Structure 1
Amino acid sequence: MTFIYGKGCIIDIKHLQYVIEVARTGSFTKAAQTMFVSQPTISKMIKSVEEELGVELFDRSGPRIVPTDVGQLIVDQANVITHAFGNLTAGLDDLATLRRGKLRIGLPPMAGAGYFAEPIGRFHAKYPGIAIELAEDGAKRIESDIESGALDFGVVLLPTKSELFESILIADERLMLLVHPEHRYAARTDVRLNELAAESFISFSEGFALHDRIPAACLAEGFQPNVVCESSQWDLIVRLVAANLGVALLPETICKEAGSGVAAIALESPIIPWQLAFVWRKDRYLSYAAKEWIRYLGTVFPGGQSSK
């Protein structure tokens, strides 16, 4: 590292280290020994610094070399600079070797436990110095926060802004109908969306992608869904269906794990896709920790191709 002083005077970190060592040992010879250079080399270097600065750094008249008043000022500041430089290089080394870092990840409720709990646990076990900050929210809000820089990564519902984001496909499923076991459709193997026109719907809250996507699909089939309740938690939606409050459209993974209190039925005509992707901005700097997380995630979800 090089410092510019005054009118073009150049001093680098090695010069400062030599000055500090001469002041500490009181001898050019001893300083040369501890710095693993020859005595003429260190003497010449100190003389060069003095000539560059236009001051005398050391009083050489006695048996022990001591700093002048100006020399002591420079020694004091040199200690501060070299200490800061040491911290900087150590910090950079920690980051480069993944001993430090932070990841800010946005996860919708349906993606957190089902897809990311174990991968995050394994990543943390391998890199305990990397802090993982999780933000649970709807996919729409997560996408907005990644775009603004409030989050580094997040899981969103496709399609998304391919011109803005890189992505790894996490899940490629479809929505299914969830009903009470005594519902008239409970024994069916499949149902068409327009057959649900008279049903009461339990939906996701605003801010979640499905909050808009399901009504849009219903409108395309000629009816406005009657939403009687909204929630941000998929497990609560399942329990409300089990309480016979209404029906819900949820991803296959959630429906298969819903339990015996509800019945899951394939939704046909139209099929509503549910594709999750892990995304990050194309034009943002990626830290060492971020690059390693992306590499690791590619091994967890090898079928999901990262867009380039």
Structure 2
Amino acid sequence: MDLQQLKYFVEVAKQESFTKASQVLLVSQPSISKMIKNLEDELKATLLDRSERKIKLTDVGAIVYEQALKILQSVEDVYSSVNELVHIEKGTIKMGLMPTIGVLLFPNILAGFKGEYPQIDIDMVQCSAKQLTLKVKQGDIDLGVTVMPVDYDIFETIPLLSEELVVIVDSEHWLVEKESVHLSDLKNESFILLTEDYVLHDVVTKSCVQSGFEPKVAYKSSLWDIMGEMVATQVGISIIPRSMVSRFNNEKVHAISISYPIIDWELVLIYKKNKYLSFAAREFIKYIQSNKL
């Protein structure tokens, strides 16, 4: 068993495809297949179920996958430790941000940090909160800006900001003259929600259920702008963070506070517990702690 075998195996398991893994690794598909077959022969066990269109882990494969992640992470930590000693105040931070939220809140922080550490590069990816936490857990990225709740057994968290969720309605809606509303007053409304990939979908749905009703969903989207336009054209109402309201340059969209229950939208910076953090990542964490949003 060698590291190359484990690396190829992990990537195929992540991508659920030999073809996609080949594209990521820049290695031919036959080479990957042969390497993983050698690993299976060595372990005398089938690790991947190849019978379906998407490659799936077998029971044994799932165990090997978890151990392989730990081994590859340990090796990366060795290289990172050496690199830190050789290249003081240099490095790269792999960071994940949620779409739009990160864009609205983080430019000044990133610019300030870059000014103090010009030799540290920041590679950013944008994805939903659920995808982001998975990437941090798997070690694909070092730090992530996401929303609560998160699993405290897996992640360390640094609070960034907390804001309320508000209802947005069209200019002719019966709520438009109200300053605030109880969530239960919305039980007969049609909702426009983010898709299930987003934590906000779960937060809104759970809050509605706790207020005594299941939200009637008129439409789901992964795009904030489309949600705003649908509200403006009276397709339904939506519940979003207050900071997002300014994104809708539309006089037909109005925001109303939710007086009960108050639903907080808490942004946090997360990183995996017990994972080695490079000099660059640690310095960014210190910078965030001393320059709150």
Q: TM-score, normalised by structure 1?
A: 0.64
1:222 aligns with 2:212: yes
Give the superposition deviation at 1:257: 4.9
1:112-153 C-alpha deviation (Å, 9 max, x unpaired): 122112211232233333221111111111112111111111
What is aligned with 2:201? Answer: 211
Preserved contact between residue 102 and residue 145 of structure 2 (Cα < 8 Å)? no
4+ aligned runs moved over 6 Å, structure 1: none
**C-alpha distance in structure 2 between counterparts of 1:166 and 1:103, whole Å:** 17
Preserved contact between residue 256 and residue 264 of structure 1 (Cα < 8 Å)? no
Give the superposition deviation at 1:256: 4.8
Paired residue for 1:195, among 178, 185, 192?
185
Q: Which runs of 5+ in 2 are unaligned?
A: 1-81
**1:300–1:92 Cα change, 3 Å:** closer
- One-letter identity of the residue aligned with 1:135: V
- One-letter identity of the residue aligned with 2:262: I
**1:93–1:192 Cα change, 3 Å:** same
Preserved contact between residue 205 and residue 211 of structure 1 (Cα < 8 Å)? yes
**1:92–1:185 Cα change, 3 Å:** closer
Q: Which runs of 5+ in 1 are unaligned?
A: 1-89, 303-308
1:69-128 C-alpha deviation (Å, 9 max, x unpaired): xxxxxxxxxxxxxxxxxxxxx9656631x2x31111111124212211221123223333
Preserved contact between residue 180 and residue 258 of structure 2 (Cα < 8 Å)? yes
1:160-217 C-alpha deviation (Å, 9 max, x unpaired): 2223322211111121000001111001011111111121111112211011121111
- SS for the counterpart of 1:109 is coil
Q: Percent identity?
A: 32
- One-letter identity of the residue aligned with 1:232: S
Preserved contact between residue 170 and residue 277 of structure 1 (Cα < 8 Å)? yes
Q: TM-score, normalised by structure 2?
A: 0.67
**1:300–1:243 Cα change, 3 Å:** farther
What is aligned with 2:252? Answer: 261
- One-letter identity of the residue aligned with 1:268: S
**1:134–1:211 Cα change, 3 Å:** same
What is aligned with 1:114? Answer: 104
1:276 aligns with 2:267: yes
Give the superposition deviation at 1:251: 0.9
- One-letter identity of the residue aligned with 2:87: L
For the pair shown, the structure with the greater C-alpha radius of gyration is: 1
Preserved contact between residue 157 and residue 209 of structure 1 (Cα < 8 Å)? yes
- One-letter identity of the residue aligned with 1:95: H
Task: Note the aligned Cα RMSD (angstroms).
Answer: 2.2
**C-alpha distance in structure 2 between counterparts of 1:238 and 1:92, whole Å:** 46
What is aligned with 2:162? Answer: 172
Paired residue for 2:221, among 224, 231, 248?
231
1:292 aligns with 2:283: yes
